[in-house]
Amino acid sequence: MRARVYVTLKPSVFDPQGRVVAEALHTLGYGDVRDVRQGKFFEVELEGDDRASAEARVAEMAATLLANPVIESYRVEVL
C-alpha cells in the first residue's frame, strides 16, 4: 500500500527558498511569476492493505516526524 504526504509551510510563514526560486524565474525571463512556495513530499510504501488504518498511521508519522506542526501543515493521500 502506498501513501503520499505533502508538507508545506503554513501561509503565514515566510518561505525564503520559494522567494529565491521566484527571483531566479524572473531572471530567466518569467516575469509573470507572482510568487513561489516550496514544499516537500514523501512517498511511503507500507505493508498491509487496510486503507483506513494506513491513512491513520501515515498521518501519525507526518505529525511526529515528517512535518513540523508549528510551522508546517501536511496532507495525506492514500493511493
**Contacts to its own copies by CB under 8 A:** 6, 8, 18, 21, 24-25, 28, 30, 32-48, 57, 61, 64-66
CB nearer to its own copies: pick between 47 and 70: 47
Min dist CB 70 to its own copies, Å, is 19
Contacts of 56 (CB under 8 A, 6+ apart): none
CB nearer to its own copies: pick between 46 and 70: 46
Min dist CB 52 to its own copies, Å, is 14
Contacts of 78 (CB under 8 A, 6+ apart): 1, 2, 3, 51, 54, 55, 58
